[in-house]
Amino acid sequence: METHTALSHLECSRTGERFEAGKVHNLSTAGWPLLVRYDIEELRRRWDRDSLANAPSSMWRYAPLLPVRLTNHIVSLQEGLTPLHRLARLGERLECDDLWLKDEGVNPTGTFKARGISCAISMCRELGIGKVAIPTAGNAGGALAAYAAAAGIDAYVFMPRDVPQANFLEAKAFGAKVTLVDGLISDCAKKVADGKMTESWFDMSTLKEPYRIEGKKTMGLEAAEQFDWNLPDVIFYPTGGGVGLIGMWKAFAELEQLGWIGSKRPKMIAVQAEGCPPIVQAFERNAEFSEFWHGAATLASGLRVPKAMGDFLVLQAVRESGGTAVSVSDSQMMKAAEELAAHEGLFIAPEGGACMAALKKLRQSGFLSKRDRILIYNTGSGYKYLETWAGYYGSSSSTH
């Protein structure tokens, strides 16, 4: 069966050069990330918001705005359509009247990485790719291993030796070939680059692969749908590679072109860790690109990305939106995560805690007002970070 995708072509994110859909692509010929384009004018005539009432309860409800052409190529473990929680108790404490959290921790493999990888692995199936390799800070490797297993594709995963244990164990259980690397995601990327010629791996690195962004943009489509097509005033997003932020920004433009939302956009807040804040530094310096952050260290493993391939796209979106970039310390993020757990009953990842801590900072600085409708993305489950939580309580004297 046809998905009735409006897929048109791919486009270089800097030069605008066009590339044909239906072919295997990594970066553009100029060496930049590719963006997927759709014929939205055509789609507008045959797809409306009301038809979503009968659509699947996963991110594949938006299939016309995703790149896969045939339904039997879709590799899904029921990712997406995650809950949107009103944080009433915490909102009162923080003097935020309209505070919401989208909980990506309930996705398959416990993080929103499932969205990007579901789309990317589906495209591998569509394009006949049988072997994939990924450098990962942790969670993308677990998700890749799961979806590759479900698709019958061989997965080669390179992760830092000190990733949360859950990432190593899940990838092993899913049958991936896992290599633990002494170093960071950037060192893992070198291993994939070295091996891909001889091993004929398809490189699934963040933004060197064009379709993960499409999966992640569904976070933005869902936020629009769940808020009844009125986007919030502010979005907090924990930014590593920045794919989710770039994807959401793209989603909002596509929704406006479809006529499903107006021109109002949320202020996009890129949140990073004090131990690895390249995007925050570039934002503050008014630079177009970030600089490689040496000695990156944070217990929010998803934020330990010293240089993002799509840094310029993140910075563009943040600036266009009138948002900002903020960093928080590891202890601030864990405290904020604990406060959320204790007041709302949600056990979140340190990355989600980073957003909560950044929210407090911007509330205190006056950047946010009491009435703003604020949406926080918790990108992962606390259950994937048990040793991080154990460390937090081990070093705290106020446990019992």
User: Which residues are at the interface with ligand PLP (CB under 6 A)?
Assistant: 111, 113, 139, 206, 238-244, 302, 349, 351, 379-380
Closest by CA to 143, choosing from 164, 121, 123, is: 121
Least distance from C-beta 378 to ligand PLP, angstroms?
8
Nearer to ligand PLP, 40 or 354 (CB): 354
Distance separating alpha carbons of residues 272 and 366, to the nearest angstrom: 20
Q: Nearest distance from residue 266's CB to ligand PLP, in Å? A: 16
Quote the longest CA-to-CA distance of the chain: 62
Q: Going along the chain, which residue ranges are E strands?
A: 7-12, 18-20, 34-38, 84-86, 98-103, 131-135, 154-160, 177-181, 202-203, 234-238, 267-273, 324-328, 373-378
91 vs 244, beta carbon nearer ligand PLP: 244
The least CB distance from residue 143 to ligand PLP, in Å, is 9
Question: Least distance from C-beta 211 to ligand PLP, angstroms?
Answer: 14
Measured CA to CA, the distance from residue 241 to residue 303 in angstroms comes to 8
- Size (the chain), residues: 400
Nearest CB to ligand PLP, comparing residues 302 and 306: 302
CA distance 355 to 367: 15
Secondary structure of residue 37 in the 3-state scheme: strand
Give the position of tokens 């450098």.
135
- Comparing CB distances to ligand PLP, the nearer of 49 and 319 is 319
DSSP secondary structure letter of residue 227 = T
- Tell the smallest beta-carbon distance from residue 199 to ligand PLP (Å): 24
Record the tokens describing residue 338, joined without a space.
Answer: 């604990």
3-state secondary structure of 51: helix
Residue 147 CB, shortest distance to ligand PLP, in Å, is 15
**b/e per residue, 44-83, with b = 16+ CB within 10 A?**
eeebeeeeeeeeeebbbbbbbbbbbbeeebbbbbebbbbe
Shortest CB 347 distance to ligand PLP, Å: 13
Nearer to ligand PLP, 65 or 303 (CB): 303
Compute the least distance from the CB of residue 377 to ligand PLP, in Å.
8
Q: How far is the CB of 191 from ligand PLP (least distance, A)?
A: 19
Provide the token pair at 242: 């920045």
Give which of 212, 260, 225 is closest to 112, Cα–Cα.
Answer: 212
- Distance, C-alpha 273 to centroid of its chain: 16
Helix orientation angle between 311-321 and 243-258, rounded to the nearest 10 degrees: 50
Of 146 and 258, CB closest to ligand PLP: 146
Token pair, residue 308, equals 């993002």
Task: CB nearer to ligand PLP: give 238 or 323.
Answer: 238
Which residue is at the shortest CB distance from ligand PLP? 302
Q: What is the torsional sign of CA 276, 84, 115, 350?
A: positive
